Amino acid sequence: MKIARKYGESISPEMIGLFFEDINFAADGGLYAEMIENRSFEAREGFGTPGKFYAVDDYGYAWKPVCGEGEQAPRMQYVTGTPLSTVNPHYLRLTAYASGQGFANQAYDGIYLKQGMKYHVSFYARCVEFGGEAFTVEVKKDGKVYAEGSVQAVKPVPYGPFTDLTVEFPMADGPFAEIMNEAKNADAEKCCREHEWIKYELVLTASETVAGAEFILSLDAAGVVEFDLISMIPEDAVAGVFRKDLFEALKDIKPGFIRFPGGCIVEGISLENRYQWKNTVGDLKDRKYIPNLWAFQDDRSLRKDLDVKRPDAHYGQSYGIGFYEYFLLCELLGAKPLPVLGMGAACQFRTTEMVPIDSEEFKEFVQDALDLIEFANGPADSRWGGLRAKMGHPEPFGLEMLAIGNEQWETKYLDIFARHVRFEQAVHEVYPEIRLLGTAGPSVENGLYDLAWDFYRKGQKENPGFVYAVDEHYYVSPKWMYDHIEFYDSYPREVGVFAGEYAAHTEDKENTMESALAEAAFMTGLEKNAGVIKLASYAPLFNRIGHSQWKPDMIWFDDHQVYLTPNYYVQKLYGNHVGDHTLQLDGQDVELRKSGIYVTVSETKDGELILKAVNTNDSAFELPMEGEDGQPMTGEARVWVLETAGEKPADKPEPSRVTEQTLELKGSISLAPKSFTVVRI
């Protein structure tokens, strides 16, 4: 292969990015470091299939009573009345009949503690009738305590009419004298008003490592106490929000952008269930909990086991990771934010529900886009910029891009083209600098896809700011990817492409070297056509083992371990080795494909060459390399090689590894069997 400094197309530094959707417990129970499940007592159980779904209130899900020293179990009621927040109105009213009684949380797959690690616990409580002195928090398994701590209970001052006065009112005798004197003598630091919620905080330290333990909160005496918003987060959580090992896995990719929050959850299984960004910002207690769209994938109506509950039917969204945290995540990772907003329609795969384009409701969707830009970029004295500042980030987040719609397509009832026009006009009237992205639907191989491209290309000719890139999705076989390396060779360059969701799906839909090599090969075509491919992201991102609604996925994990797939390493190698422009190979890449070798070459602004090569053969392949002078290439080279690392376990992705070495190049590079190699010269 002859490598000449014959420049091809410029490569966007933000090209390789991430797509985050809250599926497979990606947020709650995943990247969000919160360990308590159903912490605010708002859980619901999802039933039904698309078009025929409903939710049943199950506020006590994930919680159970703890008897302590009593023979009678404590009473747990999930009530409303005077809530911590009217947005999430339910709370737990606990009636304990003996010392040591309380309640426990299952914490997804159980609490995992790491020896020596500290864990920050907080909760809100209100003493109704409690004669004890303290609340105790324990992490316990099989009778053994692995971490514990206590906090002193704050008691309410008894209330009577005419006693809550701001001026002195002498009353030596009378029916209220005793109450008034008690109130005056109360220790202000140890008491509160009767309706008041008190926030308690403590730190637990793990004495030993344990998995599958329970979180227990108990009372030191009988009584009635109300609880809400119970939290436990490890001290190493990044920014106090993100699970560290999962965050580090994302950071290692060096993503250029993050697309969020979806995916189908953007539209919701219904408009009521859609993702509304304004409900995800502000104080945690005021973020409205909703069932996750992926909790409704229930096909029991087609089976006989109607009484068997699906394990993830309670999958919810607490919005502990909301739009503020998404922007913060982008900032921490050095990635550009790419929010996706709905265009007034619920998920088209599931329903025809929508709001009319000329309705007041549709105007709210457009206003949400304008307000989001203000939230991200507005000054601290603006309404939404002020909220961002109040949350701890007075500086703008620097939003540059915004996607309108996810996998929508034009139909007789849904006019997505007219809706894009409305959004474009409204956004660019106020924010002409924002790059807008459109959607080409769920597939690249049907007439709806072609119809969408005709619309966007025509709009771009009439208005250069009409659309920056069009979002394309394809979940396809490895063979399709190999057969379509040249897919973008003939695309017009006026409108960019966003390969927003893609993955190679084997027959068993698992993460394997087979699928990873197909993706790496296909991505040589993406990089070669960097003049039109502006952004690209694999999908989905996360999968909590035992809680899968979709496979394959880039990163698998459980309560304490991360399993990086071969597909992850492909994305990492591409993200870590981005050139500034491609080098033309004048058909050599096409010729090499006949031998099962897929290559692309780029150059950095410092003149460093980057070769990416996929060997799909069962044997090694010696790839000759010469410079533009026709002489064999020599010198020091750094080489990264992705290979399989053993047999695939039944419940985990195929093991793989990346080896790195520095070697002296002597006119060729050896490509290992079934491998993906990156060479920097």
39: alpha, beta or left? (left if phi > 0; alpha if psi -120 to 50): alpha
* 357-373 residues labelled b (16+ CB within 10 A) or e (exposed): beeeebeebbebbbbbb
Q: Give DSSP secondary structure letters for 453-495.
A: HHHHHHHHHH-TTS-SEEEEEEEE-HHHHHHTTTTTTT--SSS
How far is the C-alpha of 163 from the C-alpha of 634, rounded, in Å?
90
Q: Identify whether the C-beta of residue 44 lies closer than 8 Å to the C-beta of residue 57.
A: yes
How far is the C-alpha of 133 from the C-alpha of 110, rounded, in Å?
29
- Among residues 21, 267, 407, 472, the one annotated as catalytic is 407
- Look at strands 198-205 and 118-130 and give their pairing: antiparallel
3-class state of residue 562 by DSSP: strand
Name the residue among 189, 371, 215 with its Cα closest to residue 280.
Answer: 371
Q: How many helices (H) and strands (E) does the chain have?
A: 11, 37
How far is the C-alpha of 17 from the C-alpha of 21, rounded, in Å?
13
Q: Which two tokens stand for residue 657?
A: 């590894």
3-class state of residue 635 by DSSP: strand
Residue position matching structure tokens 């699906």: 310
Tell me if residue 407 is catalytic: yes
433: alpha, beta or left? (left if phi > 0; alpha if psi -120 to 50): alpha
Distances 314 to 160, 294, 332 between C-alpha atoms, Å: 43, 10, 31
Q: Which sequence positions are flagged as catalytic?
A: 407
